Amino acid sequence: MIRLEFIYALGGLLFLTVAVLEFLDRANPKRYRKTTFWGIYGITFLFGSVLPPFATGCLVILMVLVTGWKDLGASKVKTTTETERRQSAARLRDKLFIPALCIPLVTFLGTLLLPKIAINGQALAAAKDSTLVSLGLSVIVALVAALWLFRQRFITSLHEGRRLLTAVGTVAVLPQLLAALGALFAAAGVGQVVSEGVTRFIPADATFLVIVAFTVGMALFTMIMGNAFAAFPVMVAGIGLPLIVHKLGGDPAIMAALGMLSGYCGTLMTPMAANFNIVPAALLELPDKNGVVKVQIPTGLILLAVNTLLMYFLVFRF
């Protein structure tokens, strides 16, 4: 059985390798801080489930402190020039797509098949972990294919990994930090405060206003928490069930489905949903980390209005 922990260890090894490469590059500005940052990140991946949470917490805070006020900046790593890439593209042609397609295809097939294939009565991967385990395996398959097809050395892939990871920068760890913030929000009861605030301002018999308060509340609360799943129970318990379903007689399935989808409109519009919005911006090396959010805001707003109207016209009809 391939445990998720094995894939985390792979990630840890990659980050530790980047830390070593950062350290070995003497011309690298902020060399020690970069080494510390990626080194700690690697340790939290390798030993995360063994370390006590308090120790991990201390390491994470130390890791944040070495980044200082501004990002540490990308490291200069030698790669090919545009002319070289054009020549290589002309030579390799469509072979170039094989490793690229390996990643989504192997991830997809693995997700379907790994939980079904059993050896000695044990599935190759647990169903809940199968996508992540398959993603890890797909990277290995794609890497082997790329090294073989392009006649490259393994060390080159590590240098390339360093080039791209430092281009993403320290924002790479932001989604995990935001998840930690969400946990503290939940522990401190931020949800209750927000839902009390929203419910206090709406007259319970003004049907349209109740619907607006619910859909817009879902979107806003999702924007704060960065996650519609965190907003859903609070808003449904605060407005959806007591007002829309019980008091006004609305259909619970429509209320819940459109409520959740209104939350998703919020996800499109917030930097707090970092793995969807900030990570891609970093991955595509956009200078404006909010570039993706900005493009999504018009769709998010229009769709929120559509959801509100859909709920208003449908929820009392079925």
Ranges within 256-295 binding another protein (CB under 8 A) = 256-258, 260-261, 264, 267-268, 271-272, 275-281, 283-284, 286-289, 291-292, 294-295
The four Cα atoms 164, 167, 171, 175 give a dihedral, to 10 degrees, of -30
Among 64, 74, 202, 248, binds another protein (CB under 8 A): 64
Among 104, 113, 117, 209, binds another protein (CB under 8 A): 104
**Residue indicated by tokens 């609305």:** 250
Rank residues 121 and 189 by Cβ distance to another protein and give the closer one: 189
Distance (Å, whole) CA 120 – CA 134: 20
Number of residues that bind another protein (CB under 8 A): 144
- Residue 30 beta carbon to another protein: minimum distance, rounded to whole angstroms: 13
Token pair for 67: 């980044």
Residues between 197 and 216 that touch another protein (CB under 8 A)? none
Other Cβ atoms less than 10 A from the Cβ of 58: the count is: 12
Other Cβ atoms less than 10 A from the Cβ of 28: the count is: 19
Rank residues 206 and 247 by Cβ distance to another protein and give the closer one: 247
Among 56, 75, 215, 222, binds another protein (CB under 8 A): 56
Please calculate the CA angle 216-219-225 and round it to the nearest 5 degrees: 135
Rank residues 120 and 200 by Cβ distance to another protein and give the closer one: 200
Q: Which residues contact 9 (CB under 8 A, 6 or more apart)?
A: 45, 46
Rank residues 79 and 122 by Cβ distance to another protein and give the closer one: 79
142 neighbors 106 (Cβ within 8 angstroms): yes
- Residue 211 beta carbon to another protein: minimum distance, rounded to whole angstroms: 14
Distance (Å, whole) CA 259 – CA 253: 10
62 near another protein (CB under 8 A):
no
